Amino acid sequence: MEKNLLTELQEYFEYLEKEKGYSNHTISSYKNDLKVQFFGFLKETYTSEMPSLSDIDRSVIREFLGKEIGLKKSSRTVARRLASIKSFFKYLIIRGIVKNNPASYVKTPKLPKPLPNYVDQFNISALMDAPDCSSEKGLRDRAIMELFYSTGIRLNELIQLNLEHIQILTKNKFLVKVFGKGGKERLIPLGKTAKLSLDNYLKIRNLSFEIAMQTIPLFVSTEMKRISRRTVQNRISTYIKQVSAGSGIGPHTLRHTFATHLLDNGADIRSIKDLLGHSSLSTTQVYTHLKPETLKKIYEQAHPHGGK
């Protein structure tokens, strides 16, 4: 049955790529959770013969998750492993290969909800001034950070941008077309400061948003190839660490900062949800966190008896 399991798994990965439109990064996570970790556990546990799909019940899945916990894996990692297994069996049900999803009966570990890191408003100017804008690389890095802060887009969304995805409505109104998770398209307003930084960066490349070859990548490496995830992560993390402390600092910090500053300045959380491209409001609430003075201000403005 090992061959059948692995065959179904490979077809599942192709389904995620071709039909669901998942990124390579997301698919790699699924491969690690399922092919490396879960099926690695099955091989180790059932040394004589791999179990069939019908043999994988909730007790097997619980045993696997218990081993992960015993290895001191975080509750977030264990929860992701379970979610990957659930997703795989959901696909098998759609294909008519199995009738039930055994992972549905396994309780997800309780996850901690730490507040995400973000850059304070009074440190934003210092952050944007960190790159050396006398060089092309510095102009690029400044434009990347301004774009992250202006739009709140994800790292993968930024990397995929071409010149054609910046839409000029009028002299002072601009939009960015991004393709989020599952290939979902959304339009996000682009601020004047970010647009100016992009213009300065493109100027040194002898490009502009009006040129005919619009499929040119918006951000490129020194070898003039589309910029990589690792390059953006390393460069942006270095700059943010100059103005902000904490763990997990990187491009996503600017996504948190975008959402937090909008909320702190009175934006509606449902509007922020749409700008971030979230499917549920609960996800947006993880990205945003209110200061006590902001809560007080919103309460006084919104509640009939909230004023002085």
- How many Cβ atoms are within 10 Å of 176's Cβ, its own excluded? 23
- Alpha carbons 240 and 255: distance in angstroms, whole number: 12
Which positions are catalytic? 154, 181, 252, 255, 278, 287
Structure tokens at 286: 């993880």
At 14, which CATH number? 1.10.150.130
Q: What is the pLDDT along the chain (308 residues), one digit of tens a residue?
A: 444 777 888 999 999 988 888 888 889 999 999 999 998 898 888 766 667 787 888 899 999 999 999 898 888 889 899 999 999 999 999 888 888 899 988 888 876 655 568 888 888 988 999 999 999 999 999 999 999 999 999 999 999 999 999 988 877 889 999 998 878 889 999 999 999 999 999 999 999 887 756 789 999 999 999 999 999 999 999 999 888 776 678 899 999 899 888 888 888 888 888 898 887 777 777 655 555 555 556 556 665 655 55
Provide the token pair at 139.
């102009």
Residues 86 and 21 in one domain: yes
109: left (phi over 0), alpha (psi -120 to 50) or beta: beta
**What is the span of the domain harbouring residue 42?**
2-105
132 and 253 assigned to the same domain:
yes
Q: Do 67 and 41 contact (CB within 8 A), yes or no?
A: yes
Q: How many domains does the chain have?
A: 2
| Whether residue 220 sits in one domain with residue 292 | yes
Task: Answer yes or no: do 181 and 38 share one domain.
Answer: no
In angstroms, rounded to a whole number, what is the distance separating the alpha carbons of residues 308 and 119?
32
Say what the pTM is: 0.61
Q: Which long-range contacts (CB under 8 A, 24 or more apart) does 195-200 make?
A: 195/166, 197/139, 197/142, 197/143, 197/146, 197/147, 198/143, 198/146, 198/147, 198/166, 200/133, 200/139, 200/142, 200/143
| 85 is a domain residue | yes
Domain end (from 54, 70, 105): 105
- Looking at the DSSP bridge assignments, the partners of residue 188 are 176
What's the CATH code of the domain at 193?
1.10.443.10
Q: Of 57, 9, 8, whose CA–CA distance to 36 is shortest?
A: 9
DSSP 226: B
Structure tokens at 290: 């209110």
Same structural domain for residues 258 and 165? Answer: yes
62 and 181 in a common domain: no
* 257 domain residue, yes or no: yes
